[in-house]
Amino acid sequence: MHKWIAACLIILILIAHMFMWRSGMETQWKVIFTAINFTAWGIILGPVFLIDKWLDAVKTRNKSNADRDQP
């Protein structure tokens, strides 16, 4: 489910950028807004992705420990 949400979010961001780049805005501002947006989403989504991977590793480790402890 999380992968679908992330995929939809990325697609919406890409569509918004396509519309911005096709607009009449000056190229300098397009580059600035794209850089700001890329940095902001990286700051937001980077830790979320890393924490999700960490939680998967912890769940896998706990499951293997539980399986090992059973007689």
Counting beta carbons within 10 angstroms of the beta carbon of residue 57, is it exposed (0 to 12), middle (13 to 18) or buried (19 or more)? exposed
Q: What is the pTM of this model?
A: 0.60
Residue 71 in domain: no
40, pLDDT greater than 80: yes
pLDDT digits (tens, 9 = 90+) for 6-29: 889 889 989 999 999 999 999 999
> Can you give the residue range of the structural domain that contains 19?
2-63
- The amino acid occupying position 45 is L
pLDDT recorded at residue 54: 94
Residue 12 in domain: yes
Taken in order 14, 15, 20, 23, is the CA torsion positive or negative?
positive
Residue 70 in domain: no
Our count of domains for the chain comes to 1
The percentage of the chain sitting over the pLDDT mark of 90, rounded to a whole number, equals 51
d(CA 4, CA 62): 26
pLDDT recorded at residue 45: 82
Residue 58 in domain: yes
- The amino acid occupying position 57 is A
